[in-house]
Amino acid sequence: MGEKKYFVLMEGGNDTSQVFASRQPRGAALKAATRGHENIRLRERGTKRVHVFTGWITEVDKPANGPAWLPDKIKKANVKKSGIEHL
């Protein structure tokens, strides 16, 4: 199976202490968007690639098969990839 990769969130050209683990950069970007980040730049550990995403959150109705404790409206993260930069 594919190995997990680690993506470090960058702000202002510098690494932050936030690291997201996922197999794909999009999965890590969704996690960052869920935490409220909009301009998402993720540096892939061990490479010179920086994945650039735009993220936003929408309020949607809870799924029909959702658990009872889930509120009626939930936050759903969305991301759009705008490219890869090389350091």
pLDDT digits (tens, 9 = 90+) for 14-72: 999 999 999 999 999 999 999 999 999 999 999 999 999 999 999 999 999 999 999 99
Say how many domains are in the chain.
1
Q: What is the pTM of this model?
A: 0.87
CA angle centred on 70, ends 66 and 74, rounded to 5°: 95
27: tokens are 């999965």
Tell me, what's the pLDDT at 2?
Answer: 75
| More confident site: 22 or 87 | 22
Distance CA 15, CA 3 (A): 22
Q: Which domain holds residue 26?
A: 5-86
